[in-house]
Amino acid sequence: MDRNQSRRQVAAMKQSLFDQGLLDEQFIQLEELQDDANPNFVEEIVTLHYRDSSRLISSIEQALKERNPLDFNKLDTLMHQFKGSSSSIGAKKVKAECNLFREYCRVGNAEGCMRSFQQLKKEYAALRKKLEAYFQLARQAGPQETACRSK
């Protein structure tokens, strides 16, 4: 595949993620921090995010099992961290699900929490898959595509 075609594909994929409401402005902000010396900064950040969020998802899952009653404070605290991490990479839809979950925590709605968490996991998995494809394509297209800053 020729370079230009690759780059166009990358740009189109990125645009699609935005059009689907999966990513927000923060993702662009991160891309603008990339340069020749740090060409994979966004991917590094997102990888760190996966590590944190995997851990948090496990903790939340565990906390949801400890019912009668649910510890809404603990759940809210965990979700606050998850939301922060998601927000830092520009994960728009996931962040919205986090907010919904926290609302359910605030009103003490256990069923709402569990439903919302299932949805959140779906959104998270979907975004993760798409971002992995995006970064793979971006790497193939070459560093010029994502690096925006000049030294």
Partner 1 sequence: MSAVGDVFMPEVGAGKLHVLAVDDSHVDRKVIERLLKISSCKVTVVESGSRALQYLGLDGEKSSIGFDSVKVNLIMTDYSMPGMTGYELLKKIKESSVFREVPVVVMSSENILTRIDSCLEEGAEEFLLKPVKLSDVKRVTDFIMKGEGKKSVKKSHKRSRSDDCTPPSISTAFSSVSHPCDVSLPASPSTFHSKKSRLSI
* Residues in contact with partner 1 by the rule CB under 8 A: 26, 29-30, 32-33, 38, 41, 44-45, 48-49, 51-52, 80-81, 83-85, 87-90, 149
- List of residues 6+ apart from 46 with CB closer than 8 A: 89, 131, 135
How many beta carbons lie within 10 A of that of residue 69, not counting itself? Answer: 8
Beta bridge partners of 35: 38
Residue with Cβ nearer partner 1 (24 or 115)? 24
Tokens 């851990």 sit on residue: 55
Cβ 81 to partner 1, closest distance in Å? 7
Cβ 8 to partner 1, closest distance in Å? 27
Cβ 38 to partner 1, closest distance in Å? 7
Residue with Cβ nearer partner 1 (7 or 92)? 92
d(CA 44, CA 40): 6
Cβ 46 to partner 1, closest distance in Å? 9
Judge contact between 24 and 89, C-beta under 8 A: no
